[in-house]
Structure 1
């Protein structure tokens, strides 16, 4: 009879240890994966909101160009990718400063 009671007590304690391990694993994932990604997204949003004419940028598709016009109402950026060639890109797809990338 005592063996059954001891086995039941050990099983209950093992469940609590498993919960603690799961919480610890989630905390590790948060601080090493989720939080840095959120900080990076915040920096990208800050860059997108500060776009102005003449900035050298890189789009999400890897196109390098220079901002010619920013239309905040339509959320569109006109980018010159070659002399006389201007494309319209959604502002959310501009993600990097080309001049900063060239310095790295």
Structure 2
């Protein structure tokens, strides 16, 4: 079999041979975007929305902070709030006084008014 005849058979196979019926209609152009839309919706539901919800909860936690609350920071420091400024908070931890950025407060361990557990 020569190269020319091989090329002929390959090109004939790619062309699909002779078709007697009507050609199949191509799908609409918008149908190509449907999988991307589904992927985005799945990512929104599994990743983006939970992060937004957690950020809102953290913002609410920061707004409710008050002097005397026992808090834990993102770096693992546990202390009692002694002063709250606009962007920072002063903590008393053991014999040290620390000033940390407000968003570094991770959670409230014990509120000032709540009974000790």
Q: TM-score range by the shorter chain?
A: 0.7 to 0.9
Which among 87, 90, 100 is matched to residue 78 of structure 1? 90
Give structure 2 stretches of 5+ with no counterpart. Answer: 1-17, 112-116
RMSD (CA atoms)? 2.6
Moved over 6 A (4+): 1-4
Counterpart residue number, 1:64: 78
Counterpart residue number, 1:35: 49
1:18 maps onto 2:32 in alignment = yes
Q: Which has the higher helix share?
A: 1
Counterpart residue number, 1:51: 65
What is the TM-score when the length of structure 1 is the normalising length? 0.75
How many Å separate the matches in 2 of 1:91 and 1:55?
13
1:86/1:24 CA distance change after superposition, 3 Å: same
Q: Deviations over 1:61-97 (max 9, x none)?
A: 121111111123xx21001111x31100011211212
Give structure 1 stretches of 5+ with no counterpart. Answer: none
What is the TM-score when the length of structure 2 is the normalising length? 0.68
Aligned length: 94
